[in-house]
Amino acid sequence: MTTLLVARHGQTTWNRDGRIQGWAPSRLTDQGHDQATALGDWLDDRYAVDRVFASDLRRTRETAAAADDGYGGLPDPEFDTDWRERGFGTVQGLYAEELLDEFPDHDRDASVISLDAAPEGGEGIPTFRQRVASGWDRAIAATDAGETTLVVTHGGVIKVLLAKLTDRDPDAALAEDSQPNCAVNEIRLDGDEPELVGEELTGWQALLD
């Protein structure tokens, strides 16, 4: 089987505090490190990982390193800016309540990632989607038949990617879907089209009990 595993990073200090991260160098919490280590342990029991891609941001680098500890020797990650979270420019670092003050038309119940406007110095959704698609195409091209590739990335990226693979409306996916910290999504590449066979897998949580 040819497989791509796409995982979100572990909990960060800004996740915990409710701040908009974007490209900020936020760090994993102790809980986030434990999540990522458990993720690696869980992957080791189920997959022989041949290649690792990761966003170059601090939180994904730390997640990949902790997952390597749990796995016991993952391939060295190839860091790629196309796997970064959406860039939020001047609203990066704000708390959710502060974002609503600046963009009062944004749905209070929707994810910040779904913000329609492109913040000053940030990315609009079409640009973000195009960037994610470029990273996806390179990951597929680098994965040979029968191999397993792990991608360590961000919640917004995963939402955009899964919407593309399942023909889901991307705006709805960004606003409504969830991807918990260190959730894994399994995609098979053996057929004519990529197939999502596992979504938001968090079986590694049992290792934390």
* Helices of type H across the chain: 13-17, 30-44, 58-71, 96-102, 125-142, 155-166, 170-176
- Catalytic one of 9, 33, 106, 154: 9
Do residues 12 and 154 make contact, with C-beta atoms less than 8 angstroms apart? Answer: no
Q: Is residue 23 a known part of a binding site?
A: no
Residues with Cβ < 8 Å from 53, sequence gap 6 or more?
77, 78, 79, 80, 83, 135, 138, 139, 142, 149, 150, 151, 152
Pairwise CA distance, residues 160 & 170, whole Å: 6
Largest CA distance in the chain: 50
Helix (H) or strand (E) holding 110: none
Residue 106 annotated as catalytic: no
Q: Is residue 11 a known part of a binding site?
A: yes
Q: Is residue 14 a known part of a binding site?
A: yes
Q: Is residue 59 a known part of a binding site?
A: yes
- Catalytic one of 33, 62, 85, 186: 85
Helix (H, G, I), strand (E, B) or coil at 199: strand
Pairwise CA distance, residues 48 & 26, whole Å: 30
Residue 9 annotated as catalytic: yes
Rg (CA), the chain: 16
Q: Is residue 12 a known part of a binding site?
A: yes
Annotated binding residues for substrate: 8-15, 59
Annotated binding residues: 8-15, 59
Catalytic residues: 9, 85
